[in-house]
């Protein structure tokens, strides 16, 4: 009897939750979710490609944008297999080790995105409040150091709380609230002492997400103070226009995190569908929207993307023209490749 109890407590398999109440329509839901993930990967890869190949974009602002796109790309890669696996029906459970690894990447990438957004706020602050020293302050060497600091901050602070999950006993029903693993979801099922996880986890949130949000807010208060001191209305609007994309990125990152935290903390009485919806918004909305926002609102990115697509269109015209002049069975295949 004792052996059976221990086996139950240390069972290393957890059930992933799809969309409660809509299990019958999982295959239909898999289509839009697959499309969203495709857009996440294509959008962020496009941003990275444009910044890498366009010399005029080799500036601090766009280096930070490349970090943001890379973080969003990794967030998509860390959850795609379980989210789509559940919806397509070929993955229903996840092992404890795999679950812990996924929660490490999800939380680590969230902290990384928060740090990148803070670095971008610092970039905008220097560009607007101290433009004459912008190039001397944000040198390539300093940007590299900022990137290393962000990586270390995001990856080295989390292991203590994540590793401890391996040594907890899980005696409550092994049913996750989402189709991916989160730290707060795992400790909810634990019957061991979770005080360390709770206190350390709260300290991480305060020292990372909350601190970053406060510093971003302070930077924008200082930016607004500087902008309002500019005499010309056109110059004021031009200065603020450079911040619109970043402000949107900050909002679409922090609002879902706050919503998910509130649901986990105070929404135990809410429908499981609300938990699933907030979880999917948290992992998918920022990676989906950031490339769209920066492609629309950032003039340099928009021009380069338009140039990229116009080049594609020109290639199609040239290939079509060649196929008309020199009929060849390989021409349709070439067209598909482009």
Q: Does 331 score more than 70 pLDDT?
A: no
Mean pLDDT score of the chain, rounded to an integer?
Answer: 85
Q: What pLDDT shows up at residue 3? A: 40
86-89 long-range Cβ contacts below 8 angstroms, 24+ apart? 86/16, 86/17, 86/18, 86/26, 86/179, 87/18, 87/19, 87/26, 87/27, 87/29, 87/30, 87/33, 87/179, 88/26, 88/27, 88/30, 89/26, 89/27
The DSSP code for 194 is -
Task: For 113-165, write each residue's pLDDT tens digit.
Answer: 999 999 999 999 999 988 889 989 999 899 999 999 999 999 999 999 999 99
Q: Does 334 score more than 50 pLDDT?
A: no
pTM of the predicted protein model: 0.86
Q: Does 207 score more than 70 pLDDT?
A: yes
Distance of CA 331 to the CA centre of its chain: 39
Q: What pLDDT shows up at residue 323? A: 52
Contacts of 151 (CB under 8 A, 6+ apart): 112
Q: Does 69 score more than 60 pLDDT?
A: yes
First to last CA, the chain: 64
Task: For 221-248, write each residue's pLDDT tens digit.
Answer: 999 988 888 767 888 888 888 888 899 9
Distance, CA of 88 to CA of 105 (rounded, Å): 23
Distance, CA of 313 to CA of 294 (rounded, Å): 22
Q: What pLDDT shows up at residue 305? A: 78
Distance of CA 120 to the CA centre of its chain: 15
Q: What pLDDT shows up at residue 311? A: 61
Radius of gyration of the chain (CA): 23
Q: Does 316 score more than 80 pLDDT?
A: no
265: how many CB neighbours lie within 10 A of its CB?
A: 9
């Amino acid at each position: 009897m004792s052996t059976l109890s221990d086996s139950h407590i240390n069972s290393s398999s957890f059930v992933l939750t799809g969309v409660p109440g809509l299990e019958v329509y999982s295959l239909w839901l898999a289509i839009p979710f697959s499309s969203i993930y495709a857009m996440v990967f294509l959008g962020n890869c496009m941003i990275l490609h444009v910044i890498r190949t366009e010399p005029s974009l080799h500036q601090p602002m766009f280096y930070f944008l490349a970090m943001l796109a890379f973080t969003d790309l990794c967030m998509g890669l860390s959850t795609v297999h379980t989210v789509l696996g559940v919806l397509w029906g070929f993955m229903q459970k996840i092992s404890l080790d795999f679950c812990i690894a996924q929660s490490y990447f999800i939380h680590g990438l969230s902290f990384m995105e928060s740090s990148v957004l803070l670095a971008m706020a610092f970039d905008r602050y220097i560009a607007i409040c101290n433009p004459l020293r912008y190039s001397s302050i944000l040198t390539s060497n300093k940007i590299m150091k900022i990137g290393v600091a962000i990586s270390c901050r995001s990856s080295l602070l989390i292991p203590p709380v994540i590793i401890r999950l391996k040594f907890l006993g899980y005696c409550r029903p092994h049913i996750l609230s989402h189709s991916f693993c989160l730290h707060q979801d795992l400790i909810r099922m634990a019957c061991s002492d979770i005080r360390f996880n709770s206190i350390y986890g709260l300290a991480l949130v305060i020292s990372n997400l909350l601190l970053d949000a406060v510093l971003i807010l302070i930077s924008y208060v200082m930016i607004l103070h500087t902008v309002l001191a500019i005499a010309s209305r056109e110059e004021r609007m031009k200065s603020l226009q450079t911040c619109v994309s970043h402000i949107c990125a900050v909002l679409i990152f922090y609002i879902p995190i706050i919503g998910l935290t509130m649901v986990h903390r105070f929404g135990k009485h809410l429908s499981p569908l609300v938990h699933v919806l907030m979880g999917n918004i948290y992992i998918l909305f920022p990676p989906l929207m950031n490339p769209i926002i920066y492609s629309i609102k950032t003039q340099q990115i928009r021009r380069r993307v338009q140039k990229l697509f116009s080049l594609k269109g020109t290639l199609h015209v040239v290939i079509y023209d060649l196929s008309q002049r020199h009929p060849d069975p390989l021409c349709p295949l070439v067209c598909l490749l482009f």
